[in-house]
Amino acid sequence: MANRRNFLEKSTLLAASTLAARAMSVSTSDAQPQAPKKKLHILMRSSWGTDEPTRASFVFSHGLALADAGHDVQIFLTHEATYLMRKATVDTVKPIGWPPLSETMAKVVAKRIPVFS
């Protein structure tokens, strides 16, 4: 259990640091995509469901951003987030300040990012 917990903590920190580094490296004046130096294999986990729509959509938005950066991403849903595997549920989730989850999920499917629950 400790090894799994360490893996999940390290992968979360790695994903956050990758997003932060990418955000800092791209300036608004010359926003040209840069290829990552090393392709990472990232597993993202979420347990937020429809009771927190903004938090529920973060795993998909961040996974999509990492996949666009050229990394291999997998999304793993647990607890309440497993309900997000249903299309009817995804259509009702509207995060605050983000596009509807149905749009983000369509992009995730188009990128062929695996989603497990």
CA distance 99 to 101: 6
In a domain, 109, yes or no: yes
Helix (H) and strand (E) counts in the chain = 4, 3
In a domain, 19, yes or no: no
In a domain, 85, yes or no: yes
- Number of domains into which the chain is organized: 1
Give 31's contacts (C-beta < 8 A, 6+ positions apart): none
In a domain, 77, yes or no: yes
In a domain, 59, yes or no: yes
Mean pLDDT of 97-102: 91
Domain that holds residue 110: 40-117
In a domain, 55, yes or no: yes
pLDDT of residue 37: 72
Amino acid at position 112, single letter: R
CA distance 110 to 43: 18
pLDDT of residue 8: 64
Confidence band, pLDDT 50/70/90 cuts, at residue 73 = very high
